[in-house]
Structure 1
Amino acid sequence: MNSVSDRAALRILRLDHTRLAAITGAMLELVRAFCDGASPPDPIVLRAMLYYIREYPEQIHHPLEDRYLFAALRKRTDDLDDVLDELECEHMEGAVRLRNLEHALTRYELKGDAVRLNLQTLMEEYVAFASNHRRVEESLIVPAAERLLTESDWARIDAALEERFDPFGDATFEGETLDSLYRLIANAVPAVGDTRQDG
């Protein structure tokens, strides 16, 4: 039998986090670069990154955590209730922060230099927020799940993962069908592409 650390659910969670870290880090570097005077990137690149975060983590990754991983932990212990409550609130807060970031990018596209500092500030705040959120999950929640969850808990989580779908499987870009929006981003941004071998 595989060790708990080899669980598909934990591998997927870690891969999701790796990809999110790569994408948010690349977004921040792009924004900082053009706020420092570099030529702005093609807006489609930043839009693709924001769309990935909007549609994948917010619609797929976070609900799986809330409904299955976090719910299973709540059944096994009360010790993490405050942390889980905060993480679930952060899932909702992240959606609001992301929407604000999308609006800031639109304002930048329309108004240019007059609002670019606001875009950079919101991006820096979002990346720090998301990084801290992942850190708490990886340092507190994952070890607790490895210790406390039972085989039946993991079976339910695994069943939910089997039903998980790629929301970008039918996406198109310039006439080409994509297996994943992530691959589009990885092809456009080398730093993100470095994580492709993980999935």
Structure 2
Amino acid sequence: MQYPVARRAVQTMVREHQRLSAVVNGMTRFVALLSAGAPAPEPMLMRAMLCYIREYPEQVHHPKEDKYLFARLRSRTDGLDDVIDELEAQHVAGEARVRDLERALTRYELTGYSAAPALRTLVDEYAAFYSHHRRLEEEVILPAALRFLTAADWMELDEAFGANRDPFSGSEIEGEMDRLFSLIVSTVSESIQ
């Protein structure tokens, strides 16, 4: 989606959504391989994907959306309250879904192929959940933010989201998340060739 005003916070949020989408797509490929009985990467790859989701979107991205973006929108209009309520509830539900995925992965690691269908179901549900969440944010919330937020609001959002430790920038602090994402992408790519 193209945004008429290039706001640093919007660019950061969209970039982070794209990165999370790549990880979620990797999860769906992983469980599809398991379900098909095809050679699949080691379960550690799925564990790395879940670690990425827990450490970045759940700990950095979503809390900033709640604290800055959603709060500012609530102060400027009440026409989005229902959507913001839904998104905030999804942020809480997302953490629970990740825990459920971790448990299902552990069951798969302990019992083998018989646990693969349950894991696939949870991954497919998470992928649909995340897709709906992302669409609401990018098609409803971000355009509304561009319409309703003030220059002062944008300064605060740009500063808050600009301070996000981007796991893909390669700095020493962010290097661990960068290496994790690279491992995920390269391993998933190799396994589907």
**TM-score relative to the length of structure 1:** 0.85
Structure 1 contact 45–185 (Cα < 8 Å) conserved: yes
State yes or no: 1:184 paired with 2:183.
Answer: yes
- 1:55-87 superposed Cα distances (whole Å, 9 cap, x missing partner): 000000101100001111011100000110110
In structure 2, the residue matched to 1:112 is 112
Return the offset for 1:48.
1.1
Distance in 1, Cα, partners of 2:167 & 2:143: 29
Higher relative contact order (CA 8 A, sep 6+): 2
Distance in 2, Cα, partners of 1:43 & 1:101: 12
- 1:41-66 superposed Cα distances (whole Å, 9 cap, x missing partner): 12221111111101000000101100
Superposition pairs of residues 20-59 of structure 1, within 5 angstroms: 20-59=20-59
In structure 1, the residue matched to 2:159 is 159
State yes or no: 1:67 paired with 2:67.
Answer: yes
CA RMSD of aligned residues (A): 2.0
Aligned residues: 184
Distance in 1, Cα, partners of 2:101 & 2:25: 14
Structure 1 contact 58–95 (Cα < 8 Å) conserved: yes
- Structure 2 residues without counterparts, runs of 5 or longer: none
In structure 1, the residue matched to 2:125 is 125
Return the offset for 1:170.
4.6
- Structure 1 residues without counterparts, runs of 5 or longer: 172-176, 192-199
Distance in 1, Cα, partners of 2:36 & 2:44: 20
- 1:15-51 superposed Cα distances (whole Å, 9 cap, x missing partner): 1111111110121111111111112312221111111
